Amino acid sequence: MFNSSSTSLSFVFGLTFLFFSCQSKESNDSSTRGLIADKAMVVSARVEASAIGLQILKQGGNAFDAMAATELALAVAFPFAGNLGGGGFMVYRLADGQVGSIDYREKAPLAAHRDMYLDEDGNVIPGLSTKGALAVGVPGTIAGIYEVHQKFGTLPWSEIIQPVIHLAENGVVVTEKQAQRLANNRKDIIEVSGEQTLFAREFQAGDTIKYPALAETLRRIAANGADEFYKGETAQRLVAFLQAKGGIITLEDLASYQAQWREPIRFDYRGHSIISMAPPSSGGVTLAQIMGMLEPFNLAAMRHNSPNYIQVLTEAERRAYADRNYYLGDPDFVEVPINQLIDKSYLKSRMASFDPDKATLSSDVGHGELSIIESDETTHYSIVDQFGNGLSITTTLNGAYGSKLYVDELGFFLNNEMDDFSSKTGVPNMFGLIGAEANAIAPGKRMLSSMTPTIVEKDGKLLMVVGTPGGSTIITSVLQTILNVVEFGMNMQEAVDAPRFHHQWLPDHINFEPEGFSSSDMEILKAKGYKINEGYTPIIGKVDAILVLKNGRLEGGADKRGDDTAEGY
């Protein structure tokens, strides 16, 4: 039950429980619409990757074939995050309604240990988990896409990779945004990878970067499958390279890596069924928690991005992130009380302390008390294919260009995913997330993620495929994009482009994107005790999503914040 202070919510926020429309609204404003297609669509961070994914679909391949091609094409066209040296998660919904997901998250090397980033006084050594060979987790990408292809693919593996090899050989034209990103990271890349590395060069917008070494690596992977990366010549060369750089990944680490099929998180929100990624990503559980806490509020009656709306979302986010950081970790290593965390009555009790007149302090919000019952169970791109399958895939190197360690002889960057573990309880990682025991480092363990590849169903049919990059902000960006469509009736492109904000419990402040929020609204929030991050706040997320319109056509939402592009037919 809500406590007495929350009784006023029904007046102030138009609190409703069941008496609202469960119909998805759909904006008809064609001027703001994204790309519309009849049959199939791929939306990703780069036009080259979306186009290659679409080419595979047009060749008769399905979304799973297109996934392998798009993922690898992103490693060529978008080395900032696209990768062979990282990992990711994919959530799928087949045309017949079956859902599932695969975890190809990186793992801690077998020689890793919980204090590996601490000095002799027990303090975190700055940079050790974020830059260079020790920051690298055992990559999962090739295992993931190969496993997906083995299970669901229809075109031959080698055929799918051909256009990507072609792209790597012919090169990719540098965009303005890419030139800026490379310039911003060049110093660190040189520090880690040396003066002779490919990205030591100062690339300008309009230059073409060719990747002959990557083309060779891809050729071997096309011929030999995932074994090439984990047991073959590529594995040998990768391990020799890493060990020369002071890394601890061995041939045994690579040979024993396996992607895992996992049961996705599934929950209802106002007549929609939402399917998202389960641990070791925190995305699905945290999204379910936030949406469960929001469900009793009539958000549609609030002005979009108004102080009231920001307040309710912030308070739900605060409470969900406090739980996230305490309870979540790799389910193969720790017991994660998923069912209790997303239980609607637990979530209602979490919001009982919500006061519409003032901010809750994060220092007053710990993780919720659950009675744990022992039990013996335990860069984003979106694709919809011409058969009606929907795939939501988020993949990462973690930081920009990962560990900044570029393997010139193989043509790809390596991740710095080890930073997603809690190096030390209570000390924030590069996203300011404070971790706990559940996410401590252990050999062979997967580090907790925020990646939230998500699919939304309505009336038993596919409605939306959505996801984004953005570290700890991923979950709240996916949340806001879904709410923009289902509560505010925005079309897909509007929902993606709308200004975003973010709160994650600690640090106890709200981040706003630089544009789209008024100073008068900020003043209202400040008067209630909300702390606003007044320092530099960058854009939040780059959402790439697809909406199935009422007439069955597809609308792409390719985030204007990046070079993101929808391709469809």
User: Does the protein bind ligand GLY through residue 451 (CB under 6 A)?
Assistant: yes
> Is the separation of the CB atoms in 78 and 382 below 8 Å?
no
398 counts as binding ligand GLY under rule CB under 6 A:
yes
Nearest by Cα to 67 from 107, 40, 97: 40
Closer to ligand GLY by Cβ: residue 379 or 484:
379
Query: Least distance to ligand GLY from the beta carbon of 105, Å?
Result: 8
Among 420, 487, 508, 555, binds ligand GLY (CB under 6 A): 420
Shortest distance (Å) from residue 380 CB to ligand GLY: 11
Asked if residue 105 belongs to a known ligand binding site, the reply is: yes
Under the criterion CB under 6 A, does residue 88 sit at the interface with ligand GLY? no
The length of the chain in residues reads: 569
Q: Is 398 annotated as a binding residue?
A: yes
Considering only CA atoms, which of 248, 276, 265, 227 is closest in space to residue 107? 248
H helix or E strand, kind and range, residue 316: helix 307-327
CA 20 to centroid of chain Cα atoms = 31
Shortest Cβ 140–ligand GLY spacing (Å): 12
Query: What stretch of H or E contains 159?
Result: helix 157-170
Nearer to ligand GLY, 193 or 403 (CB): 403
Tokens linked to 203: 């690339």
Query: Candidates 296-304, 349-357, 448-456, 487-495 — which segment interacts with ligand GLY by CB under 6 A?
Result: 448-456
Tell whether 519 is in a known binding site.
Answer: no
Closest residue by Cα to residue 175 from 201, 211, 204: 204
Active site annotation includes 32? no
Find out whether 193 is annotated in a ligand binding site.
Answer: no
Are 146 and 230 in contact, with CB atoms under 8 Å apart?
Answer: no
Of the candidates 396, 403, 429, 565, which one interacts with ligand GLY according to CB under 6 A? 396
Check residue 106 for interaction with ligand GLY (CB under 6 A): no
Q: Is 471 in the site for ligand GLY (CB under 6 A)?
A: yes
The verdict on whether residue 449 carries a ligand-binding annotation is yes
Q: Is there binding between residue 449 and ligand GLY (CB under 6 A)?
A: yes
From the candidates 7, 154, 208, 378, which is the catalytic residue? 378
Q: How many residues bind ligand GLY (CB under 6 A)?
A: 8
Supply 540's token pair: 């939040």
222 phi and psi angles, rounded to 5 deg: -65, -40
Q: Spell out the SS3 assignment of 37-86.
A: ECCCEEEECCHHHHHHHHHHHHCCCCHHHHHHHHHHHHHHHCCCCCCCEC
CB of 415 to ligand GLY, least distance (A): 8
Complex with ligand GLY: residue 433 or 510, whichever CB lies closer:
433
**DSSP states of 114-142:** TTTTB-TTS-B-TTTTTSSGGGPPBP-HH
274 in Cβ contact with 268 (< 8 Å): yes
Question: In the complex with ligand GLY, which residue's Cβ is closer, 44 or 452?
Answer: 452
For residue 360 the two structure tokens come to 């809750």
Please identify, using beta-carbon distances, which residue of 272 and 404 lies nearer to ligand GLY: 404
| Cβ pair 476, 489 in contact under 8 A | no
Nearer to ligand GLY, 449 or 491 (CB): 449
Among 193, 450, 468, 477, binds ligand GLY (CB under 6 A): 450
- Residue matched to tokens 């706040």: 537
Q: Is the dihedral angle over the CA atoms 310, 284, 9, 22 positive or is it negative?
A: positive
CB of 396 to ligand GLY, least distance (A): 5
- Report which residue's Cβ sits closest to ligand GLY: 449
Region of 8-16, 197-205, 449-457, 490-498 interacting with ligand GLY (CB under 6 A): 449-457
Q: Is the CB of 467 or the CB of 557 nearer to ligand GLY?
A: 467
Amino acid, res. 398 = N
* From 149-157, 181-189, 445-453, 497-505, span contacting ligand GLY (CB under 6 A): 445-453
The two tokens of residue 371 are 């009675």
Asked if 363 and 508 touch (Cβ cutoff 8 Å), the reply is yes
As annotated, the binding site for L-glutamate includes 105, 396-398, 420, 449-450, 471
Contacting residues toward ligand GLY, per CB under 6 A:
396, 398, 417, 420, 449-451, 471
Catalogue the active-site residues.
Answer: 378
As annotated, the binding site includes 105, 396-398, 420, 449-450, 471
